[in-house]
Chains A and B, each alone.
Chain A
Amino acid sequence: MSTVCVLAPVVVGSWPVISAAIFGAAAGMGFATVEAHEAGSDVRAESSIDIDVPNSEVISDEIGHGQSIVIERDGVRAEFTHDDRGGCRICMTGRASKRELERIGQELAGRVVQQFAYHKLMSELKQRRFSVVDEKVGADQSIQVRVRLS
């Protein structure tokens, strides 16, 4: 190797693009998507906490304005929204301590960033004539990809 670099992704995209990362993260962590009117049917809110998705900015458009995505798992609900300032936020509620909700929310936020970075990298590298040589998911849930310039 000749360079080792660590990067923190910036999650900037339209609501549909960020939604795709949210659905990917939810599926990977065993959360199920629920319709807004069904949300909370099985979830009794004992605590709640808000988590920001780091370095995120939802580009405002008519399609995503005012929309939210609600996912649930084992009595814990996460609602993804974006405000007028553009940041993506997760409101965690459910039958768990505040500390536990924060842990799950932080993990969800991380996995959204992971999914976003993966799809952005793969799409951009393909355009720059890189091809995937190897790809796997590690035991620590990291996504490992080797690409080669064609």
Chain B
Amino acid sequence: MKKPEIDISIDKDGQVRIKVHGVSGEECLKLTDAIREIVGIEVSRQLTTEYYGTPGGVRIDAQVQQRN
């Protein structure tokens, strides 16, 4: 099983960017929250496709239109 990895980039102005790899869902959020507790204030957060499940999965968005 792949172990979780975190890419951390600390800019020269001190801002910290983290990218969590190898885990999805709640585990991913737990790791992100743990880093936030160490560092300080959350400025922004983005969830990517891997967060929602297995990488390579297909997501279908559909719209239903009502006919009169």
> Is A bound to B?
yes
| Cα of A116 to Cα of B13 in the assembled complex, Å | 11
Q: For the complex, is B61 an interface residue (Cβ under 8 Å from A)?
A: no
| Cα of A4 to Cα of B23 in the assembled complex, Å | 13
Number of B interface residues at 8 Å Cβ cutoff, please give it. 42
Chain A residues within 8 Å of B28, by CB: 2-3
How many A-B contacts if CB must be within 8 Å?
152
- Rounded to whole Å, the gap between the CB of B58 and the closest CB of chain A is 17
B13 and A145 form a contact (CB under 8 A): no
| Cα of A55 to Cα of B18 in the assembled complex, Å | 19
Q: For the complex, is A117 an interface residue (Cβ under 8 Å from B)?
A: yes
Interface flags for A48-59 (1: CB within 8 Å of B; 0: not) read: 000000110000
Interface flags for A105-140 (1: CB within 8 Å of B; 0: not) read: 011011111101110110011001010010000101
A143 and B40 form a contact (CB under 8 A): no
Main secondary structure of the interface of A (DSSP, over half): mixed
B16 and A117 form a contact (CB under 8 A): yes
B9 and A144 form a contact (CB under 8 A): yes
Q: For the complex, is B64 an interface residue (Cβ under 8 Å from A)?
A: no
A144: contacting residue among B5, B7, B51, CB under 8 A: B7
Number of A interface residues at 8 Å Cβ cutoff, please give it. 42
B40 and A55 form a contact (CB under 8 A): yes
Q: Which of B1-43 contact A (CB under 8 A)?
A: 3-24, 28-29, 31-32, 34-36, 38-43
Chain A residues within 8 Å of B48, by CB: 1-4
Q: For the complex, is B44 an interface residue (Cβ under 8 Å from A)?
A: yes
| Cα of A124 to Cα of B58 in the assembled complex, Å | 37
Chain A contacts to B: CB under 8 angstroms: 1-10, 54-55, 106-107, 109-114, 116-118, 120-121, 124-125, 128, 130, 133, 138, 140-150
Chain B contacts to A: CB under 8 angstroms: 3-24, 28-29, 31-32, 34-36, 38-48, 50-51
